[in-house]
């Protein structure tokens, strides 16, 4: 499978990239290093099946009007750290508006089978609920 992982240099994203590569997937990872670091993915950068793009996922989906991915894991988010509280507008733009935009983009790109392949990591962040329970939603 060819998958897109946003937030690829983050805590969860870097593990997911590693797991997908180990499972034989081809991975395009995006991160703007808002919080994630290059160190988190350093040992993965030499993998031929991994392409890393340092950019904002919202810019990426504007440039790539459509794409041929089999799945999208959307983990880019501003998680409840100090930024979450200090930058409420940015948090809204990235977590809410940005997720809506990538949802629309995935629909336009007809990523198959859409229902099972678009996973949101930041539903919990939207709701501001506790760190317990299932936070991934298949749509």
Ligand X SMILES: NC(=O)c1ccc[n+]([C@@H]2O[C@H](COP(=O)([O-])OP(=O)(O)OC[C@H]3O[C@@H](n4cnc5c(N)ncnc54)[C@H](O)[C@@H]3O)[C@@H](O)[C@H]2O)c1
Grouping H, G, I as helix, E, B as strand and the rest as coil, residue 86 is helix
Q: Does 56 bind ligand X (CB under 6 A)?
A: yes
Shortest separation between residue 97's beta carbon and ligand X, angstroms:
10
Q: Compute the least distance from the CB of residue 106 to ligand X, in Å.
A: 15
Which residues on neighbouring strands pair with residue 120, listed in sequence order? 74, 137
**Binding track over 79-118 against ligand X, x by CB under 6 A:** x--------------x------------------------
Q: Applying CB under 6 A, does 9 fall inside the site for ligand X?
A: yes
Measuring CA to CA, how many Å separate 13 from each of 85, 88, 107, 109, 126?
22, 23, 22, 22, 18
Choices 20-28, 44-52, 53-61, 104-112; region in contact with ligand X by CB under 6 A: 53-61
Distance (Å) of CA 55 to CA 23, 28, 39, 116, 120 = 25, 12, 16, 26, 19
Among 78, 102, 111, 118, the residue binding ligand X under the rule CB under 6 A is 78
**Distance of closest approach, residue 26 Cβ to ligand X, in angstroms:** 20
The set of residues, in sequence order, having a beta carbon less than 8 Å from that of 96 and lying 6+ positions away, is 126
41 interacts with ligand X by CB under 6 A = no
Output phi, psi for 131, to 5 deg: -80, 15
Residue showing tokens 């034989």: 24
Q: Contact positions toward ligand X, by CB under 6 A?
A: 6-7, 9-13, 30-36, 56-58, 75-79, 94, 121-122, 124-125, 135
């Amino acid at each position: 499978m060819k998958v897109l992982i946003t937030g690829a240099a983050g805590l969860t994203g870097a593990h997911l990239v590693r797991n997908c590569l180990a499972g034989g997937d081809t991975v395009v990872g995006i991160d703007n290093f808002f919080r994630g670091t290059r160190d988190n993915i350093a040992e993965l950068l030499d993998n031929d099946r991994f392409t890393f793009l340092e950019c904002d996922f919202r810019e990426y989906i504007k440039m790539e009007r459509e794409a041929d991915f089999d799945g999208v894991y959307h983990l880019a988010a501003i998680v409840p750290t100090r930024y979450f509280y200090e930058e409420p507008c940015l948090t809204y733009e990235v977590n809410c508006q940005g997720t809506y935009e990538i949802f629309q983009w995935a629909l336009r790109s007809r990523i198959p089978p859409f229902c099972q392949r678009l996973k949101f990591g930041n539903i919990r962040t939207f709701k501001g609920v506790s760190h317990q329970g299932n936070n991934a939603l298949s749509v």
